[in-house]
Structure formats: structure tokens, C-alpha cells
Amino acid sequence: MRKSLLLLASSLLLASCATTPPSNVENACRIFREKPDWFDASKDVEEKWGLPIQVQLAIMRQESSFKHDAAPPRDTFLGIPMWWRVSSAYGYAQVKDGTWDWYKDATGNWGADRDDYDDAVDFMGWYANVSQRTLGISKWDAYNQYLAYHEGHGGWKRKSYNSKGWLVRVARKVDGNARTYGEQLRGCRDSLGTSHWWWPF
């Protein structure tokens, strides 16, 4: 009986932790020690699509602050909030409806959900792969990967970001965060992942 209760409590705790943002988003090692299943998912994406883990983290941090149900603000009419939002972007990776459908069609991942970390980072890896294949952007280039992520592949080709100083500044911030995360991961990567967890029951 006691063992069953412990298993239930553990399952509930893990379910809660899976949907709450990390307590410290500044440090990649602490993010993954708090959420080892996230590291496993990000490592799988790195191996599958070639998108470095630090770039995944930096883009997700900028897009959603690691909130599973992040969404843009509601639109307003004459200063009154409406029920619709300014964009259909949703979830960890802030992906719009049409782009998410494109991803599912292209990969066959029909059951993918934008509020699932595993699916969100797989989308990021797939999108970065398309960016490299069609635009020649290195997957290690967080700055340009983010600009293509935000503006779309057509927007990046047109260099639409050149008229958006604020976006260029954000892309530089993403690049800086990716570099910081990369340095941190070099010191802790070998100790991360669910295989390093010890269960007392």
C-alpha cells in the first residue's frame, strides 16, 4: 500500500514538474537537472536533426520562457480585450497553426502537441534543418536561425529583419544565451539525463 502511494505521489509530482517552467532559466545544467527528461528529448533532437541543445534552449527561452501553454496576448478593440489572440502561436516553441500543420505533414508526427516539450524541440530541430537546407544557415548559428524562425524562411531571404532593430537585438540576445548555455553544458553534460536518476523504491 505504502509503495503504491509513493508511486502515485511521484507520478503526480513528475506530471506537475513537466508543465512548470524551470526554477532557474539562466543555467542549462540546472534546467536539465530539474527536468532530466527534457535533456533526453533535446539530446535526441540534437542527434536526429543536428540542432545543438544550447540553440534549442536559447530559442525556447526567448519564445515562451519555457511555459508549455504560452500564447500571445489577446487582441483589443477600442481598448477592450477580445476573445481572439493577435496570433495563433502557442506552446513551448510558439508555433502558429499553419506551420505546425506543415511540420506534422512533413514528418508524419500526427499526434504532436505544441505544449509537449518533446514535440516542441523536435519541431525546432526539423525547422532548423529546413533553414539549413533551403537557406544555408548553420545549425550552430543561433543568431540567423532565430531570425529565420521568427520571420519565416521567406522573410529571412528578403532580410525583413533589417527594418526591425528590436528583432536584431533580440536575435543577438538569443545568440548570447546559446553561447552561455553551451559553455555551461560542457561542464555538466555527461552527468545529465534520466539514466542518472536514482529511485528509492
Task: Identify the band that residue 83 occupies on the pLDDT scale cut at 50, 70 and 90.
Answer: very low
* Angle made by CA atoms 177, 128, 84, in degrees to the nearest 5: 85
- Kindly give, in sequence order, each residue whose CB lies less than 8 Å from that of residue 82, ignoring residues fewer than 6 positions away: 74, 75, 76
Nearest to 92 by CA among 146, 56, 130, 46: 56
pLDDT, one tens digit per residue, over 110-165 is 999 999 999 999 999 999 999 999 999 999 999 999 999 999 999 999 999 999 99
The amino acid that residue 131 corresponds to is: S
pLDDT, one tens digit per residue, over 90-117 is 999 999 999 999 999 999 999 999 999 9
**H helix and E strand count, the chain:** 8, 2
pLDDT at 194: 75
Domains of the chain, by residue range, sit at: 2-196
pLDDT at 182 over 60: yes
Nearest to 113 by CA among 48, 150, 68: 68
pLDDT at 91: 95
pLDDT, one tens digit per residue, over 9-66 is 444 444 445 579 999 999 999 999 999 999 999 999 999 999 999 999 999 999 999 9
- Residue with grid cell 545529465, as numbered in its chain: 192
User: CB atoms < 10 A from the CB of 190, how many?
Assistant: 9
First to last CA, the chain: 13
Among positive and negative, which fits the CA dihedral 140, 25, 120, 44? positive
Cell numbers for 14:
513528475
Q: Report the CATH fold assignment for 2-196.
A: Lysozyme (1.10.530)
Rounded CA-CA distance 199/201 in Å is 6
